């Protein structure tokens, strides 16, 4: 009995500490409306935005313990300047490579685990994809990334 009392005190103290930490954690910071708003693209005079859809979806394997546990299937489209659509079409392979690398990095950081369709997770992914697309074909060509389909199969 003498050895059981210290063990019970440790368990009660640990439970109380975890409970207090859970209830006393700081509230999440509210989203700043201005940071969520994206500035409207500045298009050349008389030019409009059009949507460039990739003909094939992207497949991103999710790996755990050196094994593929599931696959993310994602279809993307880009908001591009209508006058620059030929440049996007000519660089489709380079764009796919850059966007796939971003999605692989996102998967390796755990971005497709748990509730991967969370607003903040998808916003971060879209922003990273947009940066990669703009680095590939230019900031005055690509103005947005649209996730048109997203599926996790397996696991």
Please compute, for residue 4, the number of CA atoms within 13 A of its CA located in the half-sphere on the CB side.
1
| Per-residue model confidence (pLDDT) at position 49 | 87
121 found inside a domain: yes
β-bridge pairing 49-53 and 58-64: unpaired
73 found inside a domain: yes
Q: Establish if 90 belongs to a structural domain.
A: yes
Residue 89 lies in a domain: yes
At 143 the three-state DSSP class reads: strand
Which domain range does residue 143 map to? 47-154
The answer to whether residue 25 sits within a structural domain is: no
> Any idea what the CATH number is for the domain that residue 132 is in?
3.30.479
Model pLDDT for residues 39-90, shown as the tens digit of each residue: 555 666 667 889 999 999 999 999 888 898 999 999 999 999 888 889 899 9
pLDDT of residue 29: 62
> Given this model, what pLDDT does residue 9 score?
77
Q: How many domains does the chain have?
A: 1
Domain presence at residue 35 = no
DSSP string, 5-53: HHHHHHHHHHHHHHHHHHHHSPPPPPPPHHHHPPPPP-PPTT--EEEEE
């Amino acid at each position: 009995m003498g050895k059981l009392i210290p063990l019970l005190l440790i368990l009660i103290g640990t439970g109380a500490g975890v409970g207090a930490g859970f209830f006393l954690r700081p509230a999440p910071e509210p989203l700043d409306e201005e940071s969520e708003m994206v500035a409207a693209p500045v298009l050349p005079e008389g030019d409009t935005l059009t949507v460039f859809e990739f003909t094939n979806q992207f497949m991103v394997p999710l790996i755990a313990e050196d094994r593929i546990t599931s696959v993310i299937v994602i279809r993307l489209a880009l908001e591009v300047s209508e006058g620059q659509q030929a440049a996007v079409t000519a660089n489709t392979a380079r764009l796919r490579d850059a966007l796939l690398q971003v999605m692989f990095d996102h998967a390796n950081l755990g971005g497709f685990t748990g509730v991967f369709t969370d607003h903040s997770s998808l916003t971060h992914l879209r922003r990273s994809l947009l940066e990669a697309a703009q680095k590939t074909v230019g900031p005055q060509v690509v103005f947005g990334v649209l996730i048109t389909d997203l599926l996790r199969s397996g696991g």
